[in-house]
Structure 1
């Protein structure tokens, strides 16, 4: 399901009809909480995947998301669909922040997967937001995308253990996005591309974690309640972050070289 407040892409990308989709789902959700309602507002993508398409227009997308976020009407539709046997609802919320129209969907999700590139500028922005992100949902996780700092380096510097890394796979991405590709997979189509394989692994990890989690009401920590940020690395505390997104320097203990002046590293 597309839930990016800036508007959707798949209607244009796959030449879909404007309805059914996110807007029609938001209207229907005011009158029904049928678990099958969400599936009646999907369109089939090439390959058979049902998708709820958001309108390309940002104003219409935000209006529909606001209606679905209303706990008295739309919020139960996604939960009812996700609770159905053998069902999984994956929602693309775009670039998320605390004021996003998609935030109520994030807060009610069973798991949130945050994607970020692993270059210094991307990680500097992320570092400032980690404490807040950890309070958005009870089960957050982080995936690195493409090259850049290693998983171990990110874990050490931020005190957060990434779930894994999504490889750069332009051929697999092209096919999954409906664009032509000259690459041919020996079996299984794009599901056996590098991108398809990592998606399968991530899904299995999330399913296993949900199966192991105790059945308790989902509670998102209060804004003033301290909590571990995402997946804390054992033995590595979450590092304090300055207002410019960089780690606070750690005072060095006095040594024979620096005497009692101290220092920073």
Structure 2
């Protein structure tokens, strides 16, 4: 499965959602791999002290250009503390955009092969979504698109204005993921957003700074994010997405999904693997 994650406006937390989704991905749903593909530049290298010239998008693009016998995608992967597997992007916007463009030489194909024939779940953090972005191949290949946004007037108006554009990308399944704001009640409920936008919606994803800091490598806990509000909510989303029928198959209708904050705590990542 290939999942593209991004936003149409602002920075509502697409990277945090991509990492949380991989962390809470259910056992048997395909080994998750997060690909940092934000043209504005990556954050994971700086957050986790990954070597600038080491494995990542740069080596993946180079492997694609060389052609011939392809190296395994794992050769370009870093394993973060806690076990998350990621392919980080360069930090600078200019280099990140250049490398993403170079993935057309075969790097994207290596990723899609890992998903289609290798049984991996590839989660692509696309940053700001645009059909002219160098991440457009991820939109064309994705089985699922997660549009991350906040439940406030200006962002929902922007989403509504671009619904036809999003539909034109041709992604088989896509959802609006509603992110809560700090110390504020949501202006709209998830089901209201789904009805107004004429799309399916997931969430609300809680504003959880502690869990976000764990995912960013700034805080350590024994249980990771498994028992956090963010972890429990995203676990419900991950379970739903993992159970989604393959592209082209009939899918059940879904008006809205209210998260799992009221359910028993999800197990730690080791328990879900």
TM-score in terms of structure 2 length: 0.71
Cα distance between partner residues in 2 of 1:35 and 1:196:
35
2:140 aligns to what?
107
How big is the shift at 1:214?
Answer: 2.7
**1:29 and 2:79 equivalent?**
no
Would the alpha carbon gap of residues 83 and 192 (structure 1) be closer, same or farther in structure 2, given more than 3 Å must change?
Answer: farther
How big is the shift at 1:121?
Answer: 1.0
Cα distance between partner residues in 1 of 2:194 and 2:103:
35
In the comparison of the two structures, how many residue pairs are matched? 213
Checking the alignment, whether the CA contact within 8 Å between 2:214 and 2:224 is kept in structure 1 is no
1:14 aligns to what?
48
Checking the alignment, whether the CA contact within 8 Å between 2:40 and 2:97 is kept in structure 1 is yes
How big is the shift at 1:122?
Answer: 0.9
TM-score in terms of structure 1 length: 0.73
**Does the residue aligned with 1:134 lie in a helix, a strand or coil?**
helix
| Within-5 A mapping of 1:68-87 | 68-70=103-105, 73-87=106-120
2:74 aligns to what?
39
**1:124 and 2:163 equivalent?**
no
1:239 aligns to what?
none
1:57 aligns to what?
92
Gaps of 5+ in 1: 216-230, 235-265
| Within-5 A mapping of 1:125-204 | 125-136=158-169, 137-146=171-180, 147-180=186-219, 188-204=223-239
Cα distance between partner residues in 2 of 1:114 and 1:11:
24
Bigger fraction of residues in strand = 2
Give the structure, 1 or 2, with the largest relative contact order (CA under 8 Å, sep 6 or more): 2
Cα distance between partner residues in 2 of 1:50 and 1:156:
36
Greater C-alpha radius of gyration: 1
Checking the alignment, whether the CA contact within 8 Å between 1:33 and 1:76 is kept in structure 2 is no
Would the alpha carbon gap of residues 35 and 191 (structure 1) be closer, same or farther in structure 2, given more than 3 Å must change?
Answer: farther
Q: 1:92 aligns with which of 125, 129, 133?
A: 125
The CA RMSD over aligned residues, in Å, is 2.4
Would the alpha carbon gap of residues 213 and 206 (structure 1) be closer, same or farther in structure 2, given more than 3 Å must change?
Answer: farther
